Structure formats: C-alpha cells, structure tokens
Chain A
Amino acid sequence: MTRLPAAFWFLAPALGLIAIFFALPILAALLLSFSDFDIYAIGDPTALRWIGLDNYRQLLDHPLFWTALGNTFYFVLLGGPLSVALSLGAALLVNARLTRFKTLFRTIFFLPVVSTLVAVAVVWRALYHPEAGLLNPLLGLFGVNPIDWLGDPQWAMPAIILMAAWKNFGFNMIIFIAGLQAIPDRLYEAARLDGAGDWAQFRFVTLPMLAPTFLFVALMTMIGYLQLFAEPYVMTQGGPANATLSVVMLMYQEGFRWWNMGFAAALAFVLFAIILAGTLVQLRLQRRAM
C-alpha cells in the first residue's frame, strides 16, 4: 500500500464532512427523484415504486409548476435589475465626495439586510394594508387610487419585489462601494483633464472599472432570487390565487406539507438546472461584453 500524502490527512476531516453532509444527501435526493416516495412509502416500504423519469414528466403537467416558474422569473427579471440598480445608486451616493456622515448612511442602508425577515415582513404587511397602511395615502397624494397590495393577484408580486429589493440592496451596495473605492483616483483626474463631465466619467471610467463587481453582484442576485421562498412564505403564503407562489415554495409545499418527497426532489433538481443554465448564460454574456 502506498503511503497517502500528508495533505490527505489534513483534508480528510473537511472532505469527510462534505461527503456526509453534502454529497450524500444530494445523491439520496437524486435517487428520491426517481421514486414516488410519499407517506404510503413511509408506512410500508413495499409501496415505493421506482418510476424513472415520471416525476420529471409529471412536473411538466403539474398545474402549479408553470405558474410557480413564471412567478419566479417575474421576480428575478423585475426584482434583480431593480435591486442591482438600487444598490449601485446607493453606493454612488454614499461614496460621493460631497456626502457627509458616510459611515452613518452605510450603516442605515445596511440595516434591512441584517434585520429579521419575519419582523420586517410584519411591518411591510402593515405598510401595504389597503385601508390602514401608510403606502396608499402617500400614493393618494399623487392621485393614485388605493391599491390592495397583497390581496390583488396583479399587485402581490410587485409588492413582494419592492420589499425584497429594499431588504437586500444594502448587501450589494457594500460590494459596489468596495468596487468603487478600488478605482484609482488618477483615472478620474485624467478624465477631468481631458474635459470629461460627470456623466462621461461615470460612463467611461466608473462603469468599465466596476465590470467584475457587476458580474459578481448580478450572478449572486440571480442565484439568490431564483430561490425566492421566505418573502412570500411570510407575507402571502403564496397567495392570492397563487400569484406569489415560487418554485421553492411549491417544492416546500409538495415535500413537507404533502410529503410528496419524490416529486419535490425532482423539482429541486430542475431548479438546480435552471440556476446552472442562468449562471452559464450570464457568464457568457458578460465575458463577451468585457
């Protein structure tokens, strides 16, 4: 027997943990997704059937899968850019030369990120209340008719997006600030000497220099937003009329509410494939742009 290199023994504990708590469950879930594991199978193992790809086929016919997928994409496509734009804007403001109390603002903008989602959701539910909430009277000042934010299927998802963007933009803002501060001042000085205005400086110095930060932020936001769960879970429970049901929420319902584990596992792998595809597409796009 050949002696294993010393590095193996240093890595072994970590690798062992990853194998047991990461690789093994994923493998088990993959196997589950080829079975119809449900409550009958818990009571009587012979009631388990290996059904191959049937779960994946049923998924395409599932009445709520396309709804959930559509809702999730809606959330990602509208909420993602909104959140990134918000955080970039906030980062530029906080990082601007004229801004005073930079640390204070940074802290304030970062607060939503570290506050508990459930507590935040309770407050936002109150803000969104159609009669007693604060938001509708404010909009009323601009002549907007009262909106039933969380009770109207058309408005529920925008309401969730608004709250999620507010909750998350602080994190990306910090990353953007780090990116901004890494841009050397001499570039701006040179641009000014060449007669570049504020907009030209932003367009031709700031944005190109931020490109790697942008890629990172966009990727992380997309991956995170595709796994939308907690916001609708505490705000709307997926309602009204399933307008805020996301893929992960559907997975949770199928898996832990109805104990339809095989199907839920299949759903998890489909979501994984979607996230992987989204990441690859985005990497490809950004690389071409650079």
Chain B
Amino acid sequence: MLRLRIHHWASPGVLFRTLPPLLLACLLPLLLLAGCDAREPKVATLDFWAMGSEGERVQALLPEFERRHPGIRVRVQQIPWSAAHEKLLTAHVGGALPDVFQLGNTWLPEFVALKALAPLDAVLPAADQADIFPGVLAANRLQGHLYGLPWYVDTRLLFYRADLLQQAGIESAPRSWDDWLAALRAVKRQSGRAPLLLPFAEWQTLIALALQRDAGLLKEDDRYGDFRAPAFREALAFFLQLFGEGLAEVAGEGQTGNIYQAFARGRIAFLVSGPWNLGEFERRMPTGLQGAWATAPLPAPDGSPWPGVSIAGGASLAVRADSRHAEAARALVAFLSAPDRQLAFYRETGDLPVRMSAWTLGGLHEAPRVAAFWQQLQQVRGVPAIPEWERIATLVMRHAERAARGLSSADEALAAIDRETDAMLEKRRWLMDRKQP
C-alpha cells in the first residue's frame, strides 16, 4: 500500500500537476500575513514574567496600559517564587529572558554581573525617583546606574498577638531588645511554650539584628567576611539567647506546622514577617481574633533610636539588556511605577508601594497595622550588593542553626562563617584585582 503510493507520487506527471497548487497553499498564509502587516501598524508583543500572586494580579492593570499604547501587547507569564531564581538564570543562559521581568532586590547584583539588565536611569525623572523610599532605591543602584525600578517594598517587622501580651501584663509592643526579651518571657510563663517563631530558612531576621548593631557584614570593599566583628557577634549572641532561653524553638516551622493556625491558637505570639502576611492574617484569622493581632516596627538594641533597622527588600522591575522592544519595555515599567497604579496594585495584592506619594494618596501611612510598615520603612538598610550575597546569607544561617542546636559554639560558628565567606569571595577578589592592576 505504502509503496504503491510512493510510486504514484513520484511519477513526474503527478508532481508537475500538483506542485503549483501545493506551493500556493504553502505561501498563501504568508502572503496574507504580509498583507495585514502593510495595513495595520506593527504590534510589539512584550513578554513579562512576574512571580507568584503578583504575576496573577498584575494582569488587572494591563488592559489600561494596552489601551494607552495601542502598538504594544503584553504577555504575562507567572513563575512560582520557589523556582524563580533558577528559571531566570537558566533563561538568561539560554537567551530566553523576557523583555520585562520581576526581580528580587537581592538578585539584582547577580544579574548585573551577568550583564543581563538594561540601565533604567532615564525612565523616571529625578523628582519621581526622589518619591521612592531612599533605602530601596539605593539597593537598585549598582555601578552608578539604576538597573531595577523598585516595584514594591518588603521589609520585616513584628507580628504579634496583642491580647496574649496583655494577658501577660505587657501593655504595648516592645521597643528595645530588653523589652522584647521581657515580653517573650512573660508570654512564655503564661503559655509554657516558646512564643516566638524564628525559622532558620529566613536569614532576614538575624541580618536585621546585625544591621541594627551597625554591622558591616563584609569588609574591605566587600572582599572579605567581617562576621567576627563585635557588632555581628552581639547580634548572633542575642539570636542564640532567644533559643537558649527557650523563647524560640529550634524545631521551628516543621514543629509548628501551619503558622496561621498556630498563631490563632496562641501557640506562637510573635513572628518576624513581611507585608504579604498582612493580607494572609486578615484572611485566615478567625473573626473573633481580628482585633487581637497587631504589627509593630522592630525593637532596637540599647542605645539605638527606635524603631530598629530592618532589611530593605522587595522586588523591582528589570528590562532585558538586549530586548528587541526596549522602548515599549521602558514604557511598561514606567506605567507600573506611577503612584495611582502602585496604590491599585496594593489593593490587589497587599504589596506595599515604593512611592511615598502612593502611601499618602491612599492614607496607608495611617491605616491600622500598615502604618507600622510606614514607620519601619523610614529605617531600612540594604544588604551588601554583591552577587554572592544569597549564598553568604545561606551559610550564615547554616552556622547559626548549628550553634542554636548546640552543635557548635558561637565562636566556632563565627570563625567558620568568616572562613567560608572568604573562600566564596575569592573570585570576586580576583576580578577586582584584575580590573585595577
């Protein structure tokens, strides 16, 4: 059967008869496409990757952008947070980065080192840039250029059960480390359990404590670790004291299970967390407890003004260095950073605006629970802006966990952190020495 047909097709007569219509059929769509092209203006399709719920909710803002820019279509792809870093790196290596993408602030130095990002200095006028929280803007400026346009801010502060504190005789949120210890001890006496959740998977709390002590973390132009310096040593000592006194549990999240249930049941009374939990707590706390939970800026160490410093985090929007639609990409980034859109995005996601005028526009700086973030954001600092930072933070927490579990002493942990950090920064030192012979 098959052989017969091949024979039939291969005969020259048939081929000549069928070839012209066949060719025409193949070319027709192309001709039609070309015809369309001539009549309508060319539409640029922007690829935009955003993470988690941001990727879902940002789509509500885009129809207006497309209405204002008829020549641009935006195609959003949602990436789960847990795989985002790997996926972006792999996409860059494979030449498949989208035109516009969301980028965690601490990843920015890495992508600048990769030469993957286009500078965005000219996207916003200076007056608008001054409207962005300075600590957050600074974290996006590398080698003299703005490589990411801050999209939303993220910092860490205290979530606590005000009613449990009151039962323990504490009237207001702690403002100093000593107050905090006293409050934790008082709540623990009431409940008999560790009232603070301090997961080892999150480096932000320990690093914030260190920044409160003015720790530099790294030294000599970020060439070497500086974790044995007194500032970090004190922060680690305080961190370990929380576990040593049983105010936080080493088993952490695995033991606690669902943090919202644990918080609702009073199993934990303190949590250091970020803005995304504002919405989560509102959704997940039983109605009877809606008035019982509150937020407060981080306590400060003795001798430092309140509120204590926290981490300048958040996500930025970045544009691919060799984007074919650079102009359109910049337009999208500028559109999303305008104050009214920032406010709309906050209403959709709960992500806090980076533009201070968006806060006053929506009255967020006076809203209950959100106001604590406004206060905290006046006191934020960035982490060292080097590509190796996430790795260093991970190793810091690895040794902090070992020390908290009693597997090593604080001194051993600090020495190991410095030793491993120095080894990790060897390439950076080599590159820097090469640049300035």
Contact = CB atoms under 8 A, between A and B. Distances in A.
B405 A39 contact: no
Contacts of B89: 39, 256, 259
Contact of A43 (B115, B255, B390): B115
B322 to A, nearest CB: 13
B234 interface: no
B114 A39 contact: yes
Contacts of B405: 153, 241
B257 A38 contact: no
Contact of B116 (A40, A43, A129): A43
A58 B114 CA distance: 24
B182 interface: no
**Chain A interface mostly:** loop
B431 A40 contact: yes
A42 B89 CA distance: 10
Contacts of A239: 200-201
A131 interface: yes
B233 interface: no
Interface string A193-223: 0000000000000000000000000000000
Given A40-B113, A40-B431, A148-B255, 4 more contacts: A42-B92, A43-B114, A63-B395, A151-B255
B255 A44 contact: no
Contacts of B251: 130, 148, 151-152, 240
A247 interface: no
B382 interface: no
A132 B252 CA distance: 16
B420 interface: yes
Contacts, number: 64
Contacts of B200: 239-240
Interface of A: 36, 38-40, 42-44, 47, 49, 58, 63, 129-132, 148, 150-153, 237, 239-242, 256-259
Given A43-B116, A153-B405, A257-B86, A131 B257 contact: yes
Q: Give the 6 A-B CB pairs with smallest separation, nearest first.
A: A151-B254, A43-B114, A151-B251, A43-B115, A151-B255, A256-B86
A152 B249 CA distance: 12
B228 interface: no
Contacts of A148: 251, 254-255
Contacts of A129: 257
A240 B113 contact: no
Given A39-B387, A43-B116, A44-B115, A241 B427 contact: no
B93 interface: yes
Contacts of B334: none
A132 B391 CA distance: 34
11 contacts: A36-B427, A40-B427, A43-B113, A47-B431, A63-B416, A150-B254, A237-B201, A241-B401, A241-B405, A256-B86, A257-B86
B223 interface: no
Nearest to B399: A63
Task: Give the residue among B113, B116, B252, B407 with the most A Cβ atoms within 10 A.
Answer: B113
A153 B401 CA distance: 11
A240 B250 CA distance: 10
Contacts of B395: 63
B-side interface size class: 20 to 34
B85 interface: yes
Interface in B93-141: 93, 110, 113-116
Interface in B366-420: 387, 390-391, 395, 398, 401-402, 405, 407, 416, 420
B255 A130 contact: yes
Contacts of A36: 427
B404 to A, nearest CB: 9
A129 B430 CA distance: 48
Contacts of B90: 256
A241 B255 contact: no
B252 A63 contact: no
Contacts of A237: 201
A44 B407 CA distance: 41
A130 B390 CA distance: 31
Contacts of B201: 237, 239
Contact of A257 (B85, B92, B115): B85
B431 A241 contact: no
Contacts of B257: 129, 131-132
B223 to A, nearest CB: 15
Contacts of A130: 251, 254-255
Nearest to B395: A63
A277 to B, nearest CB: 28
Nearest to A256: B86
Contacts of A240: 200, 251, 254, 401
Contacts of A47: 427, 431
Contacts of A257: 85-86
Nearest to B258: A132
A81 B66 CA distance: 63
Contacts of B115: 43-44
Interface in B235-272: 251-252, 254-255, 257
B263 to A, nearest CB: 15
A39 B113 contact: yes
Contacts of B387: 39-40
A40 B434 CA distance: 13
Nearest to B114: A43
B409 to A, nearest CB: 15
Contact of B114 (A42, A49, A256): A42
Contacts of A150: 254
